[in-house]
Amino acid sequence: MGAVKRWGFVAVAEAMLAHKCAYSTPVCGRVWADIYTIEDTRPSRTATTLRAASRHSHMVTIAGLASNRGRNLRNVADRAPGGAELGVVVSNSADAPVLDWADERGIPSEVVERGDDESRESHEERILDALAAYDFDIVCLDGYMRVLTSTFLDAAPTTLNVHPSLLPAFPGMDAHEQVLDAGVKTTGCTVHVVGEEVDAGPIVTQEAVPVYTDDDADDLKSRVLYDAEFKAYPRAVRWFAEDRVTVEDDSVTVEGDVDAGLPERRVTSEDRYDELRYGENPHQDAAVYVDETCDEASVVGAPQLNEGAKGLSYNNYNDADGALNIIKEFDEPAAAVIKHTNPAGCATADTLAAAYADALATDPMSAFGGIVALNRECDAETAELIVDSFKEVVVAPGYTDDALDVLTEKKNLRVLDVGELGDRTETYTEKALVGGRLVQERDLWTPTLDDLEVVTETEPTDEQLETMLFAWKVLKHVKSNGILFAKGTETVGVGMGQVSRVDAVELAAMKAEEHAEGKDAQGAVMASDAFFPFPDGVEKAADAGIEAVIQPGGSVNDEEVIEACDERGIAMVFTGQRCFRHD
C-alpha cells in the first residue's frame, strides 16, 4: 500500500472494515506500513495484538475519559510511562476539575454531556465524533462514571480502566466498603481491558496494598490510589507503549513478564519484627522487618541470649549483618571484628580463640565498641578474649555454657545465636533509593588459584597465593575504595572508603604501622578491590613493605603498574573481577 499517513482512530476503524491489516483489531490510532491484503469482515476485539517495528518505535498517545478530577490520568501524564503522552481529555461533566487541569497543561479537552433522555449508544457516538479530530493509540478511563457499550468499544482502540480492588473480588461501586465488610487483609487495584460487562475484562496488571485493622473507607481510598493505582496504571500504559501486550480472547499476556532473577515486577511483603529505639541517629525513627521465608543464618530474629540487655539498635543490626556475612566466607575457624560495617580485622586459624586474637590485633583501637562475629560455637577461651575489651554485640552459631557464663557477665553485651550457618541461600541484595530500589546479584564470587593470572616477572609463593585468596574474601566486605594488607590468613591493615585508591593504600599502611599489634606490613600481601589507575598505589605499597599484590587488572595503565612491580621485585596477579562495595 506504500506510505501510510497518520490517521485518527475513526478513519482507522473505517479503513479496517475494508482492509485486513497486520493487527487483528484496531488497537492503534495510527495505521502502520505493514497493512496488507483485503478482507471484508469487521475484525473481532477478542484477538488484539500490538505490533511495531521495534519496542520503542513510536510514542503512544492516550485519549483519557474522566468524570471528575482524573488523578490517575494526571499521574500518567506527569510520568509519561514508556514515552506515552496524554493527547486529549474527554469528560461527560462540564464541571470536572480534570478539564481545568488539562487547560493549564495545554492538553486539548472535550465535554460531551449526556442528555436526560439520551441513550448510551447515542452519547457514545457523540464522544466518537468529538474524538475524530484527534490521533491516539489507546483509551484510558479514570473515574469515568458511565458503562461503555459496543458502540464505543468496537470502534475505539484498546480501552483500559483501573478498578480499586483486586478483581474479580469486589467489582462495581463501593469497592472499599466491600473490602472492609469482607474483612480481607489485602486489597489493591486492577488495570483491565474494558468490556461491556462491568469490571470483567481481561486483567493487564494488579497492585496489592495491606488493609489495617483501624482502616476506614477513606484510608483505603487514599492508600489504594497512591500506593497501588499510581503504580499499576503507569505500568500498564508503559507495557502498551512498548508493544509488549497481547489481548487474546479473555486473557492478557505481557512479553517479558516472567519469573526471573530480576523480574519485570516484584511483590514483596515483610513483617515488622521490632521497633527500634531509633535509626542511625536519635532523631530518626526505625524498625526492623523480617523475611520469614529466609532460610539463611541471619541476625534478624536471632535469639538474644543475655536476658535484660538492651535490644539491638539500627546500627547494631547493620554491623552485625556485615560481620556475619564476612565469616560466612570461610570454612576454617574464623573471626571478624566490624565497625561501621567495615572490618577492623579478620582472621582464620586452627582455633577460634587464635582467629579472634589475630583479628583483634589488626586494629584494637578501632575494634573498641565493635561487633564480633564467629563461624564456630563460641567457647570459654574465646569469650574471655572478647570481654577483655568493650564490644557491642557477639554473633555466633552457638555458645558453650561456660562461654555464656563469661559473656553474660557484661550487662549490655548483646549475645546473638544465629544457629547453624549452612549455605548462603539469599542470592540478591537491595538498596533503597529515593524513588526506587537497586537490586543486584549478591557478590558470592571469590577467585580460585585457577582464576589468578600472574602478570609479573616475580611469581608469588604458595604462601602468598594462600594469603591472596584469604585477603580477597575479606576485601569483598570493605567499603570502596578498599585496600587490604594481609599476612598468612590474618589482616594487617585495612584502608576503607577512600575516594582515591592511593589514599586507601596509605591508610592501610598507616593502620599496619601505627595500630596493629604484634604484626606489620613487612612482607605482606596487598589486595585491591579494583585496578590501579597509576603506578603510585603499588609504589606506596612497596614503601610500606608489600611483596605481593592481588588486584582485578583492566586499567589502560596496567603495563606501567606491572613495570613498577617488576622494578621492585613484587609479585602481582590479576583476578579479572573486581569487588566494589559502596554501601
Residues forming the active site: 163
What kind and span of H or E run contains 131?
helix 120-131
What's the CA dihedral at 50, 54, 55, 57 to 10 degrees?
-90
What kind and span of H or E run contains 432?
strand 428-433
DSSP 188-200: EEEEEE--SSTT-
Q: How far is residue 177's CA from residue 193's CA, in Å, rounded to a whole number?
A: 24
**Count of CB atoms situated within 10 Å of the CB of 269:** 11
Strand locations in 185-255 (E): 186-193, 203-210, 245-248, 251-254
User: Alpha-carbon torsion 381, 387, 391, 396, what sign?
Assistant: positive
Q: How far is residue 92's CA from residue 531's CA, in Å, rounded to a whole number?
A: 64
Contact 478, 579 (CB under 8 A): no
Q: How far is residue 550's CA from residue 481's CA, in Å, rounded to a whole number?
A: 15
Contact 418, 395 (CB under 8 A): yes
Alpha helices in 418-493 (DSSP H): 462-475
The set of cell numbers assigned to 485 is 594488607
User: Alpha-carbon torsion 458, 564, 363, 312, what sign?
Assistant: negative
Single-letter amino acid, residue 11: A
- In angstroms, how far is CA 141 from the centroid of its own chain? 31
Backbone φ/ψ region at 16: left (φ over 0), alpha (ψ -120 to 50), beta: alpha
Fill in the DSSP letter of residue 467: H
Contact 370, 359 (CB under 8 A): no
Do β-strands 245-248 and 47-49 pair in parallel, antiparallel, or remain unpaired? antiparallel
Residues paired with residue 159 on neighbouring β-strands, in sequence order: 139
Q: How far is residue 418's CA from residue 559's CA, in Å, rounded to a whole number?
A: 47
Fill in the DSSP letter of residue 423: -
The set of cell numbers assigned to 102 is 488539562
Q: How far is residue 331's CA from residue 319's CA, in Å, rounded to a whole number?
A: 21
φ/ψ (deg, to 5) at 380 = -65, -40
User: Alpha-carbon torsion 318, 323, 324, 330, what sign?
Assistant: positive
- In angstroms, how far is CA 369 from the centroid of its own chain? 32
Q: How far is residue 73's CA from residue 96's CA, in Å, rounded to a whole number?
A: 13
The set of cell numbers assigned to 79 is 510520568
